[in-house]
């Protein structure tokens, strides 16, 4: 696939899910992300790579509303979401996982999942408390959907375990399941393979591919495991010190001199 330049991106925008324009984040004197232009199309798997501290999670945080960009804009399905609050963005169909797992530690696996469905409840707190028919029906629906998701993700037998008691790999898996429970169109994964051994990484790679197909998603992920990235990505963006130093297909990135020098030249096992 040829690398398209920005002007053409803007013209053919029918199936663009996410687009950022000059997205910049400045903390005091430090520019964490400098004029990032991203285009992510429907059903693509796009990766964001770069050395630690390059600004990748900051980019995620801007897209999901945790930070408001110092300048620039973010468009979700054509709508300007710059500066919107995270919960609103989630309700518009964006879900995420976190670099340092942020599960609801003391709650059960099942509760973690069903909480992600709370925002879809239309009944107010009074009807929910008094168990009025409408609320009871919605609760039932949320429970059934959660059970189904747990089955599908292979977490059904641990549904009553406390989230923090799960082994590390399963916790990461649960975090992805929880994100899926919000019913997103766009899934943001922040280093989903962090801390995993090669076997687990392989399983995860297959898992992400499967999830993308089954749930009809667009996926945007941050990762350091290059085998994972190169295998599943349709497109890759490379950040270094907040600057975009490369964009394109996996093949193009691997041949990009600047990227190789800054990042790929380093043995990726050293990152673990």
Partner 1 sequence: MKNKKKRNVICTAVLSVIVVALIYYANNYLDAYIVRILNLCAIYTIIGLSMNLINGFTGLFSLGQAGFMAIGAYTVAIFTLPIDMRSTIYYMEPMNGAIANIHLEFVPALLLGGIFAGIAAFLIGAPVLRLRGDYLAIATLGFSEIIRILLTNWQSVTNGALGINKIPDNANNMWWSFGISIIVLILISLLIRSSYGRAFKAIREDDIAAEAMGISLFKHKVMSFVIGGFFAGIGGGLYASLLGTVDPKQFYFTLTYNFLLIIVLGGMGSISGTVIASFIVTGGLELLRGFDEPLTIAGYEISLFRPGFSMVIFSVLLMVIVLFYRKGLMGRTELSWDRLFNFFAKIKSRFSPKTAREGGAK
Partner 2 sequence: MTLELFLQNLANAIAVGSLYALIAVGYTMVYGILRLINFAHGDIFMMAAYFTFFGIADFHLPWYFACIFVIVLTAGLGMLIERVAYRPLRDAPKDSILVSAIGVSFLLENLANYLFTGKPKAFPDFLGLMSTISLGSVTIQKVALVVPVVLIICMAILLFVINKTKLGMAMRAVSKDYEIARVMGININLVIAATFGIGSSLAAVGVILWGMKYPQVSPLMGVMPGLKCFVAAVIGGIGNIKGAVLGGFILGLIEVMLVAFLQPLTGYRDAFAFILLILVLLVKPTGLIGEKTTEKV
Q: Which of 5, 106, 133, 265 binds partner 1 (CB under 8 A)?
A: 106
# chain residues binding partner 2, by CB under 8 A: 6
Instruction: Please give the radius of gyration of the chain, using alpha carbons only, rounded to the nearest integer.
Output: 19
Binding of partner 1 by 98 (CB under 8 A): yes
* 128 contact, one of partner 2, partner 1, none, CB 5-8 Å limit per kind: partner 1
> By C-alpha distance, which of 233, 231, 230, 220 is closest to 260?
230
Binding of partner 2 by 57 (CB under 8 A): yes
Q: Quick one: 62 or 153, whose CB is closer to partner 2? A: 62
Binding of partner 2 by 218 (CB under 8 A): no
Binding of partner 2 by 244 (CB under 8 A): no
Contact 234, 44 (CB under 8 A): yes
Q: Which of 64, 185, 244, 256 binds partner 1 (CB under 8 A)?
A: 64
Could you tell me which stretch among 97-105, 151-159, 194-202, 215-223 binds partner 1 (CB under 8 A)?
A: 97-105
Length of the chain as a residue count: 272
Binding of partner 2 by 87 (CB under 8 A): no
* 27 contact, one of partner 1, partner 2, none, CB 5-8 Å limit per kind: partner 2
Secondary structure E strands in 162-242:
186-190, 218-222, 235-240
Q: Which residues, at least 6 apart from 125, have a Cβ–Cβ distance to it below 8 Å?
A: none
Residue numbers 161-220 binding partner 1 by CB under 8 A = 178-179, 181-182
Q: Which of 95, 177, 193, 245 binds partner 1 (CB under 8 A)?
A: 95
Contact 19, 9 (CB under 8 A): yes
Secondary structure E strands in the chain:
16-27, 30-41, 45-49, 71-76, 79-80, 94-96, 186-190, 218-222, 235-240, 243-248
DSSP letter (8 states) at residue 217: -
3-state helix, strand, coil in the chain (%, to 5): 45, 25, 35
Spatial separation of the C-alpha atoms in residues 67 and 25, rounded to whole Å = 8
Binding of partner 1 by 116 (CB under 8 A): yes
Could you tell me which stretch among 46-54, 60-68, 126-134, 251-259 binds partner 2 (CB under 8 A)?
A: 60-68
Binding of partner 2 by 98 (CB under 8 A): yes
Q: Quick one: 187 or 228, whose CB is closer to partner 2? A: 187
Spatial separation of the C-alpha atoms in residues 188 and 64, rounded to whole Å = 9
Long-range contacts, 80-89 (Cβ 8 Å, 24+): 87/119, 89/63, 89/64, 89/65
Q: Quick one: 94 or 259, whose CB is closer to partner 1? A: 94
Binding of partner 2 by 31 (CB under 8 A): no
Residues 149-188, one symbol each (x = binds partner 2 by CB under 8 A, - = not), give ----------------------------------------
In the structure encoding, which two tokens stand for residue 84, read together?
Answer: 């919107």
* 31 contact, one of partner 2, partner 1, none, CB 5-8 Å limit per kind: none
* Binding-site ranges for partner 2 (CB under 8 A): 27, 57, 61, 66-67, 98
């Amino acid at each position: 696939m040829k690398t398209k330049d920005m002007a053409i991106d803007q013209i053919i925008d029918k199936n663009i899910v996410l687009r950022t324009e000059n997205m910049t984040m400045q903390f005091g004197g430090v520019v964490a992300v400098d004029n990032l232009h991203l285009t992510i199309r429907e059903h693509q798997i796009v990766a964001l790579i770069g050395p630690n501290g390059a600004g990748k999670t900051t980019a995620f945080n801007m897209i999901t509303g945790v930070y408001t960009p110092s300048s620039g804009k973010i468009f979700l399905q054509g709508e300007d979401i710059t500066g919107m609050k995270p919960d609103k963005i989630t309700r518009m169909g964006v879900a995420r996982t976190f670099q340092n797992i942020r599960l609801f530690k003391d709650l059960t696996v099942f509760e973690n999942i069903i909480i992600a469905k709370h925002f879809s409840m239309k009944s107010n707190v009074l009807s929910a408390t008094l168990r009025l028919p409408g609320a009871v029906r919605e609760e039932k629906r949320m429970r059934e959907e959660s059970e189904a998701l747990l089955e599908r993700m292979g977490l059904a037998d641990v549904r009553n375990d406390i989230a923090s008691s799960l082994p590390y790999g399963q916790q990461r898996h649960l975090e992805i399941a929880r994100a899926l429970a919000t019913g997103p169109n766009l899934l943001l994964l922040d280093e989903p393979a962090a801390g995993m051994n090669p076997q687990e990484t392989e399983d995860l790679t297959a898992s992400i591919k499967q999830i993308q197909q089954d749930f009809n998603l667009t996926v945007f992920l941050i990762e350091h495991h290059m085998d994972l990235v190169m295998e599943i990505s349709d497109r890759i963006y490379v950040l270094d010190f907040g600057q975009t130093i490369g964009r394109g297909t996996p093949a193009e990135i691997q041949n990009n001199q600047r990227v190789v020098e800054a990042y790929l030249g380093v043995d990726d096992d050293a990152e673990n």
